[in-house]
Amino acid sequence: MTDMLTSRLALPLLQPGQAQKEMYHNEALARLDLAAQCAVIASGTNISPSEPAFGDAWIVGAEPAGDWAGRAHAVAGWTAGGWRFLDPFEGLRAWVVEDGGFALFTEGEWVFGRAHGRLIVDGEQVVGPRADAIENPAGGATVDSEARTAISAILLALREHGLVDSG
């Protein structure tokens, strides 16, 4: 089934005059089902579960054995036809139920628990890469203690949220 495949999801393509087209079509649908809105039960699992439910999926660990041997870092999904594997590609993202967060495949590995990129609201960047630390207000001939307290409170909140460095 590997004569002609799509470039990213390795979905088998139908060929003119091909016999048993339904096998290729069904294989493509099974793989697409793993990739679209990818969600897995857990990540880093090296041994396949003994009684998976239809539609369950996992991110395979770095040292898989048994049914998953040789499929490190793949998304493994249980289908009516047995295990199907989706080899990850740069930018593939999966919801990991066990962690309650997303995993991103980048630079050859799955990265967990990090926000990636920027936050854009109505076309305006609201959050981006962390900037240099902002110094606390100090000095000056005339000190406005209320303004200094307010600015310090804002900086503290931004630091607690991880939006600015604590310097």
DSSP notation for 22-36: HHHHHHHHHHHHHHT
Smallest CA-to-CA distance from 86 within 145, 140, 10, 12 is with 10
Could you give the residue ranges of the DSSP H alpha helices within the chain? 21-35, 145-160
pLDDT-above-70 percentage for the chain: 81
The pLDDT, as a whole number, for residue 1 is: 43
What is the DSSP-derived secondary structure letter of residue 111?
E
pLDDT digits (tens, 9 = 90+) for 78-95: 988 889 899 999 999 999
Q: Considering the entire predicted model, what is its pTM?
A: 0.63
pLDDT digits (tens, 9 = 90+) for 8-64: 666 677 777 777 777 777 777 777 777 788 899 999 999 999 999 988 999 999 999
Q: Average pLDDT of the chain? A: 82
Residue 116 has pLDDT above 60, yes or no: no
Most confident of 89-98, 110-119, 122-131: 89-98
The pLDDT, as a whole number, for residue 163 is: 75
What is the DSSP-derived secondary structure letter of residue 14?
P
- Cα 62 versus chain centre, distance: 16
